[in-house]
Amino acid sequence: MNKETLGARLRATRKAKQLTQAQLAQRAGLTQGTIGNIESGIRGYGESLLDIAKALDVDPAYLRMETDVKHQDSASNDSDVPGDLSARQVVLLQLFDGLTSKQQDEIIRTLEATKQANFELIEELAQRRHK
């Protein structure tokens, strides 16, 4: 498959997900220029294929034009998610999975700090109530 066709598949997939090149680049941990070059057929995916596929939540084979099925097996994708999660929790996991490791670490630190601040506030309010 030529680079222009691969680039067109990437562009169509990105647009279907309503993402800009910059947004996809950020999710994949790449530069906007890299995404633009792939979409324009200037370069191939190279080592960025897996990061781009993960950021778009599609099978890498779909981006390589080896299949027309975006997900290898949608049931297997869902089997990784415990059945007792709410729809909101599933959405959060999917969004989290689309982030780079560095972004995930930052989110975890922020959530831990927020949880601690909430705990301290509850403790303070409880102490005031008992006075």
What is the structure's pLDDT at 56? 93
Give the distance from CA 56 to its chain's centroid.
7
Amino acid 97: pLDDT: 82
Instruction: Sketch the domain layout of the chain as residue ranges.
Output: 3-79, 87-129
pLDDT score of 96: 84
Cβ-based burial of 111 (10 A; exposed 0-12, middle 13-18, buried ≥19): exposed
Structure pTM?
Answer: 0.53
Instruction: State mean pLDDT over 66-82.
Output: 58
Judge whether residue 20 has pLDDT over 70.
yes
Given CATH 3.90.1150.10, say whether it is the number of domain 3-79.
Answer: no
- The reported pLDDT for the residue numbered 65 is 82
Looking at the predicted structure, is the pLDDT value of residue 14 above 70?
yes
User: Hey, what's the torsion of the CAs at 69, 54, 27, 35, to 10 degrees?
Assistant: -60
